[in-house]
Each structure stands twice: as C-alpha cells, then as structure tokens.
A = this chain, B = another copy of it.
Amino acid sequence: MSTISPASRTTPTPTADALTTAGVRILQSYLEGEWQEPAKGSAEPVPTFDASTGEPVALVGSDGLDLAAAVDYARTVGQASLGHLTFHQRALILKALAQHLNSDEVKSGLYEVSARTGATRRDSLVDVDGGIGVLFTYSSKGRRELPNAFAIVDGAPENLARDGSFGGQHLYARIPGVAFQVNAYNFPVWGMLEKFAPAFLAGVPSIVKPATPTAFLTEAAVRAIVDSGLLPEGSLQLVSGSVHGFLDLLDVRDVVGFTGSASTAAIFSGHANVLSGGVGLTCETDSLNAAILGPDAVAGTPEFDAFVASVVTEMTAKAGQKCTSIRRVIVPVSVMDAVIDAVGARIDARVTLGDPRAEGVTMGPLASTEQKAEVRRSVEALLAGGGRIAYGSLDEPRVTRADGTVSAAPSGAFLSPVLLRFDDADADAVHEVEAFGPVASVVGYRDLADAVRLANRGGGSLVATVASADASTVATLVTGIAPFHGRVLVLDRDDARSSTGHGSPVPHLVHGGPGRAGGGEELGGIRAVKHYMRRTALQGSPAVLTALTGQWRAGAGVQADLSGAGASWSSPSTASSPSTASSLSTASTASTASTASTASTASTASTASTASTASTASTGSVDPAGATGASGAEHPFRKPLSRLRLGDAIDSEAREISLDDIGHFAEFTGDTFYAHTDEEAAAANPFFPGRVAHGYLLISWAAGLFVDPAPGPVLANYGLENLRFLTPVSPGDAIRVTLTAKEITPREKEDYGEVRWDAVLHNQRDEVVATYDVLTLVSKE
C-alpha cells in the first residue's frame, strides 16, 4: 500500500506551538512501562487532523525518546516476563484482553476516536472488531493447536542411526529479541493487533510504531490495553512518532514487521542489518489486486452480481484505503460495458459519501488531505497512462456533513469513487500505479490465458478474486495465478452470501503476497507465530531429544522429572543475558554435581532402553520407571499428571488369538469382510496369508491388555492417532502391547490434562503388528 510521509504535506498548517497553546494534546508513547512525552527538541511534533472536518486532533512526535532503551527493555524485561508463560497461558491473556477491548465502554470509546480517522461504523467494525477478532482467534488457536509448553516441535522424529541411538528433531523456539512493528495508517487498531497477537503468543515482546496520520487511534487502543493491566511487563511498547534509525539498533535476535509502501520496504530491506546482520524482515506493501470475472459469469448470473457487489465494496469500504482492495477489474472484453454500468448503478444506489458521524453515510473521507492529494496524483497518472474515467470524477464531491446538510467540504479529505477504463489492457500504468483510495480500473481480456497473464502482470499481489461457477474455468484461472498471489478467493453462487470477502484478511489464512506485495506472510494461524520463532534441527540420543522436546522417543527411557520435558525452553534467552549469568562457582558446582546426575541419567536411560528391548520376554506389567526407584511397578494409569513422567510404560502380557475369536468378532461387529471370514478369498488377497484378525479386534484387545480398570487418574480415552497395521495377525498368533507416556499437556483451566501414549503391538515373533498413539485425559492429582 502507498503511504506518504508527513513531511510531504504541502498546505500551510498551524505550528505545533500554536496548536499546543490552543489545547491540542501531544500524543504519548508507552516505553519501558511508562507513558512518556517527547522532549521539546529539534523536531517539531506533527499535527494530525479529523479527516472529515480538518480540525486538529493531536500532535505526534518522538523527539528525545530513548528507542535504544526500549529495545533493551523488550529484550530483557519483556523476554523474561513472556518467557515464564506457556503458549496456553499467553493465549488466555489474549482472550482476556480481547474481552476487555470488546466491552461496550472500551469499544465505544475506540469507535468515537476511529470516526475522526474518517472511518464509518462499518469501517470501524473491520478495524476495531476485526482486531479484537484476531486476538480471539489467536487465543483459540494457541490453545487448540499449540502444546501447553514453550517451544513447538516441528515435523516427525527422524531416526539417523541403525540402532536408533541417534536422531534428529526440528523445533521452533522464540527469537531472543524484539518484534519491531511498523504499521500503516489505514487500520490503526487491526494493523497493530494482527502483528502483536502472533508475536505475543510466540513469547516475543512488541514495539509498535503506528503511522502518524492516525496514530491517535492506535494510542487510544494501547491505552485501553495498558489500562487493562493484563499484559506482562515489557510485552508491548508504543512509539508515537518517528523511529528514524531504528534498524541500527536491531540485530540477529530481532524481527521487523512492516506494512507500508514498497519504496520504504526497499529501504528497510537494503539496510546492512537486514542484508547481512540477520534482522528478520517481513513486508506487506503495494499490491494491485485483481478480480477476474469468468466467461460463464455473464450478466444475470449470481456470479456477475456477486462480482459487481464485491468491486463496489472494495472501492468504497474504508474509502478504498485497503492494501487488499480490488484495483484491477479483469473481465471479458465483451462485458466491459456491462460491468462498468452495473458498478456505477450500484454505487449510485448504495453509496452515500460524508462525515461518518452523519446518519446514512456509507463511505467516509480518506484519512488525510495529503492522502487525498496523493490519490488524485495517482489517478492523474492512470489517466496519463491510458485510462479514462468511466464513473465518478476528481471534482470536489458534495458530501453529507455531520449535521446532515449536504455540501462540498474542501477542508475534509473527501473523494468520490472513481472507476477507470483501460481499452489497452496491457497499459503499464494499470498494472503498476496503485491509487490508494476509492479507485479501480476495468480492463478486458481475450481468453483465460490472457486473463491469467494480466492478473500476473501485477508482479505479485496479496489477493485475487475469481468469479466463476465453471469448474474448468476456476481451475485454469486459480492454478495460473496462484503462484503470484497470497490469497485467491473463488466467488460463486454457493459462497457469495457467506464469503468473508475479497478485501478481508482472516486470521486463519496467510495475509501477504510475493513480489510487489512485499514477499511476506502475516497471519495464517500458527504460521505467523512461527515467524517470531526460529527453527533449529536438534540432534542427539533419544533421551536427550526427549528432554529437549518434551516428546518421548523410543529408546529414551523414563525422564527424571518434568522440568526437562521441554520446559527448559521457558527462558532460553536469559541464558545469554549477562545479568542472569550464573557465576563461575555455580558452574563449577554444577560440574561437580553433574557427575552424579550424569551417571544417574545415563544409567536410567540405558536401563530403560534395555528394559524396553528386553521387554519381549517379560510378562506382566513392567514399569521402567522402577529403575529410578521412584515408583516401583506402579501401573502408569495410576499416576496423576503430577507423578507421571515421559517414558512411564506398561509392557503387557501376550494374548493368543484364535479363529473363533476372529469369527466371533466378525459376527458381533458385523464386519464380515472376507479377509476375516473366507480363508480362500483371504489367501487370494495380496496382503494376507489367509484369514486374519480384524485391525479393530487387535486394538480392542490391546486396550484390554493395557487398561487398568479401576477408577483412577485416567479419565477417558478421547481419541487415537497415526494407527498403522504393519503385520497381519493370523489365528494362533499372540499379541502384546507396550504403552508409553509420550507427551503430557496439562490444561491451564482444568484439573486434568492430555496424555498421549505411544502404543506398539508385537506378535510372538517380536514383529511389530501395529503402532499408534492413544489419547487420554488424566487428572492432575
């Protein structure tokens, strides 16, 4: 998206001194846990104005604020306070925060401020409620899709040794620095929260820098957040005003999230600390988003109507100041006129331009008069590049004032919707000039390949809509444009009413796009959380990998205690902070002490792994945890979470399966599949030697073999995963099961948690018959 710097303001404005004298307040910044004002320094604060009336709102400046101290504060205090919270604990804070902002009192206050940016109630709904929705979604996804832990295990375990004594595991740990977030002016609340939420969930403190023209709304939102008292110290800081030179302060520990112009993004990308210093940078920039009307979607079809409605929505919502707005309306040459007429008619019927505080207004002004001038310049460039105005004009529009009267309002930032038409679909301007306001251009395509080519001429976009109900058309268009787009929406009669819309990023799906769109990705659920973490490949023995990941691996034995179960990631960064360095003597002590503990760990691991190997011959319940001397031969189902350890296991007796058993099971369940009931047919099957036991019989019997029937801490088996039947079981075979605690996830707000058990079924020849995970709920005490 395009932004302009406050410096480009051309009309004379009152001086900061005059405004201060007139009672216009100076926006504060929230740094190092305190609200701070800029010093009276060399840089004058910049005034901001009500978008509809032109009245001054606030002065914005950061002169004298100590950005380096803020970065340090985030890296130390912020990292430490967030590091003590698990993903679930952070997620619950996000939920409480969302509820706080969602209260009538807080929200109505934000809506009032939002109106001063030119936002209608509907626009504020997208910005304010949309931002709160992001918090709710990340809270929910954080608890459902992440472990109640400090790091994220990525992908399957990799075994790298024949004997299983060495393996690998990818793991995401949070970055040890700060998330520096530079936002655009158009969504002062959503824009902040959509970056803050995933960073917070990852455990990384944010420094937020809003765009100046609407910084007063971001400040109001941060004030509401701070007042809630919900956030851990140092997890959120706000800089109102310039952050000139901030990249000089950052290094390989930190990441920057930027939404704004491609030119600014290129400056950031070219900074030495990004090019070679290791600062992570995610950009979301200009995007000439397209909407393509399929050849089947002729006038009169539901797709045509939905397409036209979408174009009008994207032109007028937020006065077209959305990175995701449709800029290029790509339609069959033959229906260009029909589309233009329909869009114009719908605007005439639906759109009332005016002060958002007036009754009946459906489209507000741009955010500032500078932006209005900028959009006009862009439209002039489009006209010079071959476009013609097909609807609307650049004249000063008549608008509904706050008091309901209708007149021109030159002091406001009003602009009429403008639809352009390019008869030359290949004109460079239409694919390169983004008029960041209520402006779109119609171009015609010859055939589907031409439509794909034109859409991709955007050089990478955030989103495109394909409106068609023809499967082949949809396939051709979507597959052709997907590699150039972050998001593609297929609009048809089935989803026209329920679609979340072309212009609305949803927190569940990635928001961003390749090339001109900045090459970044935001949102997308947990994907964005990982942007604030770093993936490392860990290699080691099963015991070490179990301790580091909190997921038990075969051969690991029993973990000594839960503190090793991934919990070591709770505050990794503090280890590199000199202030928390343990002393030399501590290290020496550890070194001495570790000799004993090392031996004990090693012996535990090898004992357990021996037990596990040797378990073939064992009968009855053997608990390798016995090797630690802590729990004897106690059945692991008798251990509440407080005592259960990764690696606690039961190795069952063997049970022989007869042909009668198989026949009986077939009869009882109704599963008379021939492999279980017809010897000859079963033998003809490429996978079976003859009649075999049902897979369901095997896992049912396995449950009978491992279960401990009396009431106890295990409350329920709520599911099963990754079941594979590896060796058929014939009559006369005997099966036994080994069940081992693999992952332990206490729930934050319940007195129980989830335990995942590794189940392995063997036959009497020690062949693996089946493997799976059993999912249970287990009491904490």
Give min CB distance, A167 to chain B, whole Å: 9
Across the interface, which residues of B come within 8 angstroms of A270, CB to CB?
270, 275
Q: How many whole Å from A725's CB to the nearest CB in chain B?
A: 6
* A355 CB-CB contact with B under 8 Å: no
Closest beta carbon of chain B to A760's beta carbon, Å = 14
Tell whether, in the assembled complex, residue B515 and residue A278 are in contact, meaning their CB atoms are under 8 Å apart: yes
Smallest distance from the beta carbon of A283 to chain B beta carbons, Å? 9
Instruction: For chain A, residues 546 to 591, give those with C-beta under 8 angstroms from any C-beta of chain B.
Output: 547-548, 560, 564, 568-569, 572-573, 575-578, 580-584, 586-588, 590-591
| Contacts A/B (CB < 8 Å), 26 sampled | A161-B498, A165-B494, A165-B495, A173-B479, A174-B483, A251-B515, A252-B515, A253-B483, A270-B270, A296-B590, A447-B581, A449-B582, A471-B547, A472-B590, A472-B597, A478-B538, A488-B536, A490-B544, A493-B602, A495-B540, A495-B544, A674-B710, A681-B711, A685-B711, A695-B717, A720-B723
Contact with B along A62-78 (1 / 0, CB 8 A): 00000000000000000
A711 to B578, CA, bound (A): 70
Of the candidates B266, B582, B719, which one forms a contact with A724 in the assembled complex, judged by CB atoms under 8 Å apart?
A: B719
Q: Using A536-B488, A541-B492 as known contacts, say yes or no to A688 and B670 having CB atoms under 8 A apart.
A: no
Q: Give chain B residues whose Cβ lies under 8 Å from the Cβ of A162.
A: 498
Interface residues of A in 522-558 (CB under 8 A from B): 524-525, 527, 534-541, 543-544, 547-548
Interface string of A437-469 (1 = CB under 8 A from B): 000000000111110110010011000000011
Counted per complex, copies of this chain come to 2
List which A125-171 residues lie within 8 A (CB) of chain B: 155, 158, 160-163, 165-166, 168, 170-171
The answer on a CB contact under 8 Å between A703 and B694 is yes
In angstroms, Cα B700 to Cα A701, docked, is 12
Q: When chains A and B are docked, how far (Å) is the Cα of A534 from the Cα of B480?
A: 12
Partner of A687, one of B515, B684, B711, B716: B716
B703:A473 contact, CB within 8 angstroms: no
B674 near A171: Cβ-Cβ < 8 Å: no
B interface footprint on A744-760 (CB within 8 Å = 1, 0 otherwise): 00000000000000000
Residue of B nearest to A695 (CB): B717
Asked whether, in the complex, the Cβ of B576 is within 8 Å of the Cβ of A452, the reply is yes
Contact partners of A582 in chain B: CB under 8 A: 447-449
Besides the contacts A163-B498, A253-B483, what 6 more A-B pairs have beta carbons closer than 8 Å?
A160-B498, A252-B460, A473-B594, A478-B548, A480-B573, A665-B668
Tell me, yes or no, whether A475 is within 8 Å of chain B by CB.
yes
**Chain B proximity of A107: nearest CB distance (Å):** 23
Which chain B residue shows the least CB distance to A478?
B548
B-contacting residues, A720-768, CB 8 Å: 720-725
Bound CA span A536–B694, Å: 41
Q: Is the CB of B715 within 8 A of A469?
A: no
CB distance from A512 to the nearest CB of B (A): 9
Could you tell me if B677 and A709 are in contact, using CB atoms closer than 8 angstroms?
A: yes
Known contacts A492-B540, A718-B724; A506 and B160 CB within 8 A of each other: yes
Does chain B have a CB within 8 A of A60? no
> Quick check: is A418 within 8 A (CB to CB) of the other chain?
no
Q: Is the CB of A534 within 8 A of B483?
A: yes
Taking a contact as CB atoms under 8 Å apart, the answer to whether A590 and B473 are in contact is yes
Q: Check if B453 sits within 8 Å of A576, measured CB to CB.
A: yes
**B residues within 8 A CB of A716?**
675, 685, 687-688, 725
Q: Is A699 an interface residue (CB 8 A)?
A: yes
A651 to chain B, nearest CB (A): 16
Chain B residue numbers with a CB within 8 Å of A655 are 670
Q: Is the CB of A495 within 8 A of B541?
A: yes
Please determine whether B594 and A296 come into contact, CB atoms closer than 8 angstroms.
yes
Does B535 lie within 8 Å of A510, measured CB to CB?
yes
Verify B674–A777 contact, CB threshold 8 A. Answer: no
Smallest CB–CB gap between A583 and chain B, Å?
6
A298 within 8 A of B: yes
Q: Judge whether B597 and A483 touch: CB under 8 Å.
A: no
- Cβ contact of A482, chosen from B161, B572, B590, cutoff 8 A: B572
A295-B588, A715-B687 known; A576 vs B449 contact (CB < 8 Å): yes
A186 to B195, CA, bound (A): 41
Q: Which of B498, B591, B669, B678 contacts A166 (CB 8 A)?
A: B498
Size of the chain A interface, CB-CB below 8 angstroms: 172
A121 at the interface (CB under 8 A from B): no
Name A170's contact: one of B510, B537, B568 (CB within 8 Å): B510
* Nearest CB in chain B: distance from A636 CB, A: 14
Q: Does A610 contact B (CB under 8 A)?
A: no
Residue in contact with A494 in the complex, picked from B543, B569, B715, CB distance below 8 Å: B543
Interface residues of A in 167-195 (CB under 8 A from B): 168, 170-171, 173-176
What is the 8 Å Cβ interface bit string for chain A, positions 330-358, against chain B (1 contact, 0 not)?
Answer: 00100000000000000000000000000
Q: Is the CB of B524 within 8 A of A537?
A: yes
CB distance from A286 to the nearest CB of B (A): 9
* Cβ-based interface call for A373 (8 A): no
The residue of chain B having its C-beta at the shortest distance from the C-beta of A492 within the complex is B541
Contact of A447 among B298, B506, B583 (CB under 8 A): B583
Cβ of A4 under 8 Å from chain B: no
Q: Are A469 and B581 in contact (CB under 8 A)?
A: no
Pairwise interchain contact A715-B685, C-beta atoms closer than 8 A: yes
Q: Known contacts being A456-B576, A670-B701, A709-B673, is A536 close to B723, with CB within 8 Å?
A: no
Partner of A470, one of B278, B294, B568, B590: B590
Decide: A587 near B295, CB < 8 A? Known: A452-B576, A537-B524, A711-B681: yes
Beta-carbon contact of B295 and A572 below 8 Å: no
Known: A490-B541, A684-B711. A594 touches B275 (CB 8 A): no
Contacts of A296 in B (CB 8 A): 590-591, 594-595, 598
Residues of B near A664 (CB, < 8 A) are 668
| With A452-B575, A515-B277, A674-B711: A175-B483 Cβ-Cβ less than 8 Å | yes
In angstroms, Cα B296 to Cα A580, docked, is 21
Give min CB distance, A300 to chain B, whole Å. Answer: 11
Which B residues lie within 8 Å of A625 (CB)? none
Q: A704 touches which one: B481, B669, B687, B709 (CB < 8 A)?
A: B669
Report yes or no: B487 in contact with A539, Cβ–Cβ below 8 A.
yes
B696 touches A699 (CB 8 A): yes
Residue of B nearest to A176 (CB): B483
Q: Which of A275-333 contact B (CB under 8 A)?
A: 275-278, 280, 294-296, 298, 332
Contact of A536 among B483, B560, B677 (CB under 8 A): B483
Which one of B453, B486, B694, B777 lies within 8 Å of A537 (CB-CB)?
B486
Residues on B with C-beta less than 8 A from A161 are: 495, 498-500
